[in-house]
Amino acid sequence: MKVLIIVPAHNEEKNLPTLIPKIEAMGWDCLVINDASTDHTGDVLDEMGVPHLDLTNNVGLAGVTRMGFMYAWENGYDCAMVVDGDGQHPPKYIKLLIDKIEEGYDYVIGSRFVNKPKDRSLRMIGSRLICAAIKLKTGKTVTDPTSGMRALGKSVLEDFSESMNFIAEPDALTHVIHSGHKFTEVQVEMVERTAGVSYFSNVFRSAYFMFDVLMSILFMQ
Amino acid sequence: MVSMALSLKIILILGSGFVLFYVIYNAIKSRMNIRYAILWISWALIVLLLGIFPGAAEFFSRLIGIESVTNFVFLVMIALLFVFNYYTYVKMSTLEEHDKKLNYELAVTKKKLEEYEKKQ
């Protein structure tokens, strides 16, 4: 099975030198997509000699993953997996997800909450709301809809390379379930961000994101 | 206070209902980016609410001292149009900037490729 590991990276000059060798050691192809970083990410990638795309304009995480899926589909890969360039997805879990694709699943998510409870923070209340919306729409139970760590089989890859009219991960997941692809979750741990500021530290931005995602899940997928 | 005519209410409800249906249909067919589709849906919802609950429109027109509720509806429409138009201009500016960068990048890449081919 031909597997491509897609690593979206935006200003990750510090994280990539430790992350990429670990991924490459596993023997799968790796493609780093440098989303118009303003630091030395591009130079670091050239130095390491890892296959990468340098984007001219910043297109955001959704746009970058879309490009990764298009690349994987055009180059005949059977499976594509997303591993964030900021190091929050530990490489040791990559194989677990890819094994599930090999078993015949079309879409596998690395979930933090398959057998671990969610805490009661504001962010997890948002996560619960999204889970409830997905349950309402598709009737399926999911535990970690916002997880960006996912592996795609060939059928979903074809689907996504044609069109990806999604806000983010949760409505993409809804679309996958709704169109009848085989989906499962795998328990993983994620590393909390140590440096930088999260996109969701702004309350208004989070509320706006929640509104968009819920609208998309309920009415448009 | 002059309240909304029944015909205006019906037009608001039918018009926004049609917009809602059409925007969602287009978003599903992937003919409009989902983010923009949601903005348009929000607009249609606001107009729909104005049509269904004219009491709200009456309350707000009294609050800001507008004699006729119909004028308040016009005010809301014009304000929404302004917001949307402004947003489009902001977006257009970034797109133009992106277009220039891409053009430059492509030209430089072509030049490099030609030089490389000459060397061969």
> What confidence tens digit (pLDDT) does each residue in B6-27 have?
888 899 899 999 988 998 888 8
Measure CB to CB from residue A165 to each of B30, B41, B101 and give the nearest one: B30
Instruction: Look at residues B57, B38, B50 and name the one whose alpha carbon lies nearest to residue B13.
Output: B50
Measured between CA atoms, the residue of chain A closest to residue B31 is A165
Model pLDDT, residue A194: 58
pLDDT higher than threshold 70 for residue A193: no
Return d(Cα B112, Cα B106) in angstroms, integer: 10
pTM over 0.90: no
Measured between CA atoms, the residue of chain A closest to residue B23 is A220
Among A1-10, A79-88, A160-169, the range scoring the smallest mean pLDDT is A160-169
| Subunit contact B41:A167, Cβ cutoff 8 A | no
pLDDT higher than threshold 70 for residue B30: yes
Which two three-digit tokens encode residue B15? 């018009």
Model pLDDT, residue A90: 92
From chain A, the residues in CB contact with B101 under 8 A are 56-57
Model pLDDT, residue B31: 82
Tell me how many domains chain A contains. Answer: 1
By residue range, what is the domain housing residue A214? 3-220
CA A55, A61, A63, A66 torsion-angle sign: positive
Instruction: Look at residues A144, A86, A133 and name the one whose alpha carbon lies nearest to residue A110.
Output: A144
| B15 CB-side CA count, 13 A | 15
Query: A148 with A73: CB under 8 angstroms?
Result: no
pLDDT higher than threshold 60 for residue A209: yes
| Subunit contact B33:A57, Cβ cutoff 8 A | no
Return d(Cα B20, Cα A43) in angstroms, integer: 48
Query: A164 with A66: CB under 8 angstroms?
Result: yes
Measure CB to CB from residue B33 to each of A56, A165, A211 and give the nearest one: A165
Model pLDDT, residue A165: 87
Model pLDDT, residue B54: 87
CA distance between the termini of chain A: 30
Q: Quote the strand ranges of A90-211, DSSP E.
A: 107-111, 150-152, 183-187
Model pLDDT, residue A191: 85
CA B32, B38, B41, B42 torsion-angle sign: negative
Residues whose CB falls within 8 Å of the CB of residue A57, separated by 6 or more in sequence, listed in order: A36, B98, B101, B102
Return d(Cα B96, Cα B104) in angstroms, integer: 12
Q: Is A165 an 8 Å CB contact of chain B? A: yes
User: How do A79-82 and A150-152 pair as beta strands?
Assistant: antiparallel
Among A119-128, A195-204, B53-62, the range scoring the smallest mean pLDDT is A195-204
pLDDT higher than threshold 60 for residue A142: yes
Which two three-digit tokens encode residue A175? 């679309």
Q: For residue A102, give how far its alpha carbon lies from the nearest alpha carbon of chain B (Å).
A: 30
Most trustworthy range by pLDDT among A69-73, A115-119, B73-77: A69-73
From chain B, the residues in CB contact with A215 under 8 A are 38, 41
Model pLDDT, residue A136: 94
Quote the distance between the C-alpha of residue A207 and its chain's center: 21
Q: Is A38 an 8 Å CB contact of chain B? A: no
Measured between CA atoms, the residue of chain B closest to residue A175 is B28
| Subunit contact B34:A219, Cβ cutoff 8 A | no
Q: Is A207 an 8 Å CB contact of chain B? A: no
pLDDT higher than threshold 60 for residue A196: no
Most trustworthy range by pLDDT among A60-64, A97-101, B32-36, B54-58: A97-101
Measured between CA atoms, the residue of chain A closest to residue B99 is A57
In chain B, the percentage of residues whose pLDDT exceeds 90 is 48
| Kind and range of the H or E run holding A1 | none
Q: For residue B76, give how far its alpha carbon lies from the nearest alpha carbon of chain A (Å).
A: 21
Measure Cα distances from A127 to A15, A124, A135, A178, A214 in Å: 27, 5, 12, 19, 11
Kindly report, residue by residue over A11-68, the tens digit of the pLDDT: 999 889 999 999 999 999 999 999 999 999 999 999 999 999 999 999 989 899 999 9
Instruction: Tell me the CATH number at A142.
Output: 3.90.550.10
Model pLDDT, residue A164: 84
Among A132-146, A195-209, B10-24, the range scoring the smallest mean pLDDT is A195-209
Residues whose CB falls within 8 Å of the CB of residue A123, separated by 6 or more in sequence, listed in order: A200, A206
Query: A60 with A33: CB under 8 angstroms?
Result: no
pLDDT higher than threshold 90 for residue B51: no
Within 10 angstroms of residue A146's Cβ, the number of other Cβ atoms is 19
Which two three-digit tokens encode residue A35? 């989303």
Q: Is A208 an 8 Å CB contact of chain B? A: no
In chain A, the percentage of residues whose pLDDT exceeds 70 is 96
